Structure 1
Amino acid sequence: METPAAPAPSDVATLLTQLQREPGRPRITWYGGLGERVELSGAVLANWVTKTTNLLVEEFDAGPGTRVLLDLPPHWRTLVWALATWRTGAGVVVAPAPAPDVVVTDRPETHAAAADVVAVALPALARRFDGALPPRAVDAAAAVMTYGDALGWVPEPDAAHDALPGVPHARLLTSADGHVAPGTRLLHHVPTGAVTPTELLREVAVLAADGSLVLVAPDAGVDVERVAESERATTGSA
């Protein structure tokens, strides 16, 4: 007798619980430059999101109404920061966005005037941000791992608040265009430039459908079709 499929998650908290039902199953596989390959299981992804959520709440009082600017390229770390922002009930914005409350970026030198900046080092093995930091900036590579593996206090969510501009939390997991088949393992060649709301919505839709992502960076230098075959993934747009 087949086990009935779990209902689709309605919010990020439920999504994170879903990811841990099969804790060892790959959920994000990242192919980056210089031969980098990073695989995050459901348990590891949820752990990264939990630690990052704790940082956002404890360092910046993130919650409903907080606007977090993600000035990052499409990347597995970017998706972690987006999920953590949404778990606090805050909203993600992308550039150009006037006066965000928190800036999360791999280019902190361009946000020296911002009050609250998080500098993100993108290489998988980075232990600290390799560059100058503005005063009071938080080095994500050093800071995130110091936060707890268990979720601390998180503000009560408000489904009516924006998760992305024009997309309330209540519709976050259902706003991507097109249908994602349950359990899809999708290979996506991510675009260059800064991440967009469309990119985030499509990636989170795959996870919400109990699927997994194989993300290939523009500079990965791999044969995408060969990677798709080895990863048993279908190719297309996430």
Structure 2
Amino acid sequence: MADNIARVFADAIATDPTRPLLTWYDDSTGDRTELSGATLANWVSKTANLLVDEVGLAPGTPAGVLLPPHWQTAAVLLGCWSAKLTVLDMPGTADVLFAAADRFDEAQSWSADERYALGLAPLAAPLRQVPPGFADYVVEVRGHGDHFTPQPGPGPTDAHLLARAEARADELGIERGARVLIDAARYPDPVDWLLAPLTRAATVVLCANLDPTRLTNRQNSENVTHTLP
């Protein structure tokens, strides 16, 4: 097992970077977004470059993430971990903060110099109106480089998170190379919907507002091998 999250992610996509790694559904909007390992890696690299080159953050710097399960959340989290930042999800002091549009009020309790807003819209559309004090993540991140080389070794929380992810992969029955369907409402912890599958080089079908009447068809159309209970 690799000793850091960036390495686990790289290993998970190394065999076939073109295969669908994370497929996102929102049954309330009809949105479907499919990202290959290479495409997600591109977003992760851009995010890490934003954090290191533009914001100038050093390893261990706290980053606040107020985001639900979503493919853009995967890019933000993996970008933060690639930059060796410490990700926080409880109110506190952070040097950078990422917040979903419906959590801007909550974001006011955070002390952060750099703030990025995410509308989580289909096709990564930008926000129609960016709140004061925030920059639009999808606009800002696009201008950064497609490649990022993480510093060697683990980040400050990698060992703890990977140990949790390994344990959860066992508990949830995720086998190596599986294609896993996950109800985002039932498994909001990124250890469950993101890191546990990555430790098994599994691919994910992540569903928000899951319509039970569509479940069987989706399992078949997406070649799902395991659905989290």
When normalised by structure 1's length, the TM-score is: 0.81
Question: Of residues 181, 184, 190 in structure 2, which corresponds to 1:200?
Answer: 190
**Any idea what SS the aligned residue of 2:220 has?**
helix
User: Is contact 2:4-2:159 (8 Å) kept?
Assistant: yes
1:136-175 paired onto structure 2 within 5 Å: 137-151=134-148, 154-155=150-151, 157-159=153-155, 161-162=156-157, 169-175=158-164
In structure 2, relative to structure 1, the CA distance for the partners of 1:82 and 1:150 (3 Å cut) is: same
Q: Does 1:94 align with 2:89?
A: yes
Structure 2 match to 1:58: 53
| Structure 2 gap ranges (5+) | none
Question: Of residues 198, 216, 236 in structure 1, which corresponds to 2:228?
Answer: 236
Q: Deviations over 1:115-136 (max 9, x none)?
A: 210111201324422223223x
Q: Deviations over 1:92-117 (max 9, x none)?
A: 1113x211221101137423564210
Structure 2 match to 1:26: 20
Q: Does 1:43 align with 2:38?
A: yes
User: Is contact 1:70-1:93 (8 Å) kept?
Assistant: yes
The offset of 1:52, in angstroms, is 0.7
Distance in structure 1 (CA, Å) of the matches to 2:130 and 2:72:
20
Q: Which has the higher helix share?
A: 2
| Structure 1 gap ranges (5+) | 1-7, 163-168
The offset of 1:69, in angstroms, is 1.0
Structure 2 match to 1:3: none
The offset of 1:173, in angstroms, is 2.4
**Any idea what SS the aligned residue of 1:77 has?**
helix
Question: Of residues 104, 115, 118 in structure 2, which corresponds to 1:117?
Answer: 115
Distance in structure 2 (CA, Å) of the matches to 1:229 and 1:128:
33
**Any idea what SS the aligned residue of 2:7 has?**
helix
1:125-140 paired onto structure 2 within 5 Å: 125-135=123-133, 137-140=134-137
**Any idea what SS the aligned residue of 1:68 has?**
strand
Question: Of residues 209, 221, 225 in structure 1, which corresponds to 2:200?
Answer: 209
Q: Deviations over 1:153-207 (max 9, x none)?
A: x555554x22xxxxxx124323122413111111011118xx95xx211221201
Distance in structure 1 (CA, Å) of the matches to 2:130 and 2:78:
27
The offset of 1:10, in angstroms, is 3.0
1:177-196 paired onto structure 2 within 5 Å: 177-179=168-170, 180-191=174-185
In structure 2, relative to structure 1, the CA distance for the partners of 1:55 and 1:220 (3 Å cut) is: farther
Query: What percent identity do the matched residue pairs reach?
Result: 30
Give the RMSD, CA atoms, in angstroms.
2.4
Identify the range of structure 1 (80-89 vs 223-232) with the bigger mean alpha-carbon deviation: 223-232
In structure 2, relative to structure 1, the CA distance for the partners of 1:143 and 1:225 (3 Å cut) is: same
**Any idea what SS the aligned residue of 1:149 has?**
coil
Question: Of residues 68, 78, 101 in structure 1, which corresponds to 2:73?
Answer: 78
User: Is contact 1:109-1:134 (8 Å) kept?
Assistant: no
Structure 2 match to 1:15: 8
When normalised by structure 2's length, the TM-score is: 0.84
Give the residue type in structure 2 aligned to 1:142.
Answer: V
